[in-house]
Structure 1
Amino acid sequence: MTAQVREVMTLGPVTVAPDTPVTEVARVMRDRNIGAVLVVDGGRLRGLVTDRDLTVRILAEDGDASARTVAEACSPNVVCVAPEDDLDRAVQLMRGRALRRLPVVDDGQPVGMVTLGDVAVDQDPTCVLARITAAEPNL
């Protein structure tokens, strides 16, 4: 039987409000050693912002980054999966849309995140990506 997303996802995704300053989001990513946070408004998922989004959409632009909010940096059309979805479906979505992360949403509310690393660890714990995922961060 195919694994479900709930079996491999990381619980308790980090969330921020749309009006959160990007500088605060960057600090959260640094402090928690993560590359993405979910943008939530009224308990509902409204977007996803990655460290790359901050670089490309905010830092690469001229102007004062400290005056910018995460709403300006996030991807608003987020592809999601549910905890009960087959892991194969999540992998197909990731492959088909070139995604590294998928928010896991239950009844409109984010409950987790499934990443390429999560999938790698589940599929083959000895593969290079699984070992990289398990390694200590090099801060």
Structure 2
Amino acid sequence: MKVSEVMTRDVQTVSPDQPVREAASFMLSADAGSIPVTEGERLIGMITDRDIAVRGVAKGHGPDTPVRDLMTDDLVVVRSDDNVEDVATKMSEAQVRRLPVIDEDNRLCGIVSLGDLSRQTDTECATQALEGVTQKGGQHQQ
């Protein structure tokens, strides 16, 4: 099964110039822990609630700080034609619960979450991703 068959297509994004307050507001209303950062259709980063609450606050950044100052730009992405098994492996290795999905032209076309995998695929695939995500250690960047 391809990731394009299970991903969420309607993805809210923020621009790098928006204040982190707006990114946090979206996360609150969508009950999401991260949001892609785009310039046009090009994915340039991700910002997480952890980026804002931990890194931002620890460094003294306020709610009007531009997203670009706190976003993660070292991204792990998947392609829309990747197999869900490969996606589960990437999630596990990167210890993340969601990954941005890009198309053949490197444009953001969706996001795939651990929940998407658990609802739409066999349990072995979701279990593999969950085991890696819940292991201690690693960099939790997106």
Q: Give the drift of 1:62.
A: 2.4
Q: Give the drift of 1:32.
A: 2.2
Give ranges in structure 1 of 5+ residues lacking alignment. 128-139
1:134 alignment partner in structure 2: none
Structure 1's consecutive aligned runs of 4 or more residues displaced over 4 angstroms after TM superposition are none
From 30, 41, 44, the counterpart of 2:42: 44
TM-score normalised by the chain length of structure 2: 0.79
The one-letter amino acid of 2:60's match is D
Q: In the aligned structure 1, how far is the partner of 2:17 from the partner of 2:10?
A: 21
**Cα RMSD for the two superposed structures:** 1.8
1:109 alignment partner in structure 2: 107
1:16 alignment partner in structure 2: 14
Q: In the aligned structure 1, how far is the partner of 2:34 from the partner of 2:24?
A: 9
Q: Give the drift of 1:6.
A: 0.9
2:68 alignment partner in structure 1: 71
The one-letter amino acid of 1:100's match is R
Q: Give the drift of 1:79.
A: 1.0
1:118 aligns with 2:116: yes
Q: In the aligned structure 2, how far is the partner of 1:123 from the partner of 1:8?
A: 12
1:24-68 Cα offsets, whole Å, 9 max, x none, are 1111111222221110013210001111221122123325x1231
Secondary structure of 2:89's counterpart equals: helix
Q: In the aligned structure 2, how far is the partner of 1:49 from the partner of 1:85?
A: 24
Report percent identity of matched pairs.
36
Aligned residue pairs, count: 123
TM-score normalised by the chain length of structure 1: 0.81
27-36 or 82-91, which deviates more: 27-36
